[in-house]
Structure 1
Amino acid sequence: MRRYFIAGLLVWLPIVVTFVVLSWIVGTIDAIVDWLPHAWRPDALLGRRIPGMGVVMAVAIVFLTGLVAANVLGQRLIRLWEALIHRIPIVKSIYASVKQVSETLFSDTGQAFRTAVLVQYPRHGTWTIAFVTGEPAPETVGNLNEHGRFLTVMVPTTPNPTSGFLLIVPARDVIPLDLSIDEALKYVISLGTLNPKTRSPVPPPADLPPSV
């Protein structure tokens, strides 16, 4: 009975979790419909509320914004908008930080999360997967006694890699991996139980040291 129960759980758990996550995402994005005047809302125009309409509208808005921003007139409008934002205290700092991070993550020339590596963390002799995010500013490493090139890496937590730790490590202590970012993330999310290349289960170690 225990074996059958676990087999059934392994079938239903991914389905239920995926459904719950997608429902939450769609419900959250659908909330943008409530920002519109009542006469412009799809339920008022069509006579009924259509689930997922907020997702369609969000995709359309983002696409149209990118279309406008790709031409000269759109770029001028964006510069005027940013000039206005930079006149507002506090808001300008938040906006500038988010803009820099976004451009680093999504720009074709950005260097964030371009390489998966191995670093020693949290102590010497213990290795973990990390992602190179760039190089620290000279002012950051200027007080270090070590010389040479340094890298900034992000060590993700598992099984939720959206949080982690920022480390500044010597480049000589970083070992590049022959893995794509997606493969390395799958390995982190699976708690190291899946082979990142084949997605097959990693066999248990042949022998373990005796427990104390």
Structure 2
Amino acid sequence: MKRYFVTGLLIWVPLGITLWVVSTLVGAMDSILLWLPEGSRPRDLMGVHIPGLGVFGVFFIVLATGFLTANILGQRLVKMWEDLLNRIPVVKSIYGSVKQVSDTVLSDSGQAFRKALLVRFPHSDAWTVAFLTGAPAAELACQLDGEHVSVYVPTTPNPTSGYFMVVKKTATIELDMSVDEALKYVISMGVVAPASKGGDGQGPCKPVIRPKIVEPNLPG
């Protein structure tokens, strides 16, 4: 009975969490319909509440925004709006940071989260999955010897928090897996392992040269 109960949990828990997350997102998007004037809301016009209409509303708002800002006039309006936000003391710091991150992650020409790496963390005898985010800033690079890369080490099972590190490129191992596969591997705490390119999940591992770690000589 215990085995059957656990098997049932493995079926219902992921499904329940998925439905809860989707329901929460749909409910949040449906709340934008409350911004409409009284009498023009879908519930007032149809006489019944139809869940999910907010999803289409958000989609069309984002699509219309992208369409309007694709021309010169729209870009000028966006620049005026950003200049206004950059004059507000606290808002300019938050907006500027979020915009830089979103431009880097969502840009097609960016290199953020384009490669999965294996790095030593949190000490020289342990390895973890990290994501390449680019090259370190010039002010950091000039203080370091050799070529370094910027990596993001996500936490498990919540990959939205983690650690930003600058490590030597020779101290990293590039993994032959996609970013999506690496994220699933991290979120599942190593349970959902990506299949090998051979398709059987037990294929031969490509040999790599392990980076040599030189421990510093500490006084005393």
Query: One fold, TM greater than 0.5?
Result: yes
Q: Which runs of 5+ in 1 are unaligned?
A: 203-212
Deviation (angstroms), 1:113: 0.4
CA distance in 1, matches of 2:189, 2:165: 21
TM-score by length of 1: 0.87
Tell me the equivalent position of 1:38.
Answer: 38
Query: Following TM superposition, where does structure 1 have runs of at least 4 consecutive aligned residues deviating by more than 4 angstroms?
Result: 198-202
**Residue deviations 1:112-136, cap 9 Å, x none?**
1011000000000211000011112
Counterpart in the other structure of 2:138: 138
Unaligned runs of 5+ in 2: 203-220
Instruction: Report the Cα offset of residue 179 of structure 1.
Output: 0.8
The AA in structure 1 aligned to 2:8 is G
The superposition leaves residues 155-188 of structure 1 with CA deviations (integer Å, 9 ceiling, x where unpaired) of: 1111221111111111111111111101111111
Other structure's SS at 2:165 match: strand
Query: Partner letter of residue 54 of structure 1?
Result: G
Per-residue deviation, 1:142? 4.4
Residue 141 of structure 1: how far off its partner (Å): 4.6
Q: Quote the sequence identity (%).
A: 52
The alignment partner of 1:117 has SS state of strand
Aligned to 1:120: 120
In 1: Cα distance, 2:200 partner to 2:11 partner: 17
CA RMSD after TM alignment = 2.0
Q: 1:181 aligns with which of 179, 182, 186?
A: 179
Give the CA deviation at 1:43: 1.5
Quick check: 1:194–1:201 contact (8 Å CA) kept in 2? Answer: no
- State whether residues 120 and 127 of structure 1, in contact with CA within 8 Å, keep that contact through their aligned partners in structure 2: yes
The amino acid across from 2:94 in the alignment is I
- 2:18 equivalent to 1:28: no
Contact kept in structure 2, 1:112 and 1:133, CA below 8 Å: yes
Q: Which residue of 1 aligns with 2:211?
A: none
Q: Hey, what's the Cα distance between the residues in 2 that align with 1:31 and 1:67? A: 24
Return the TM-score normalized by structure 2. 0.84
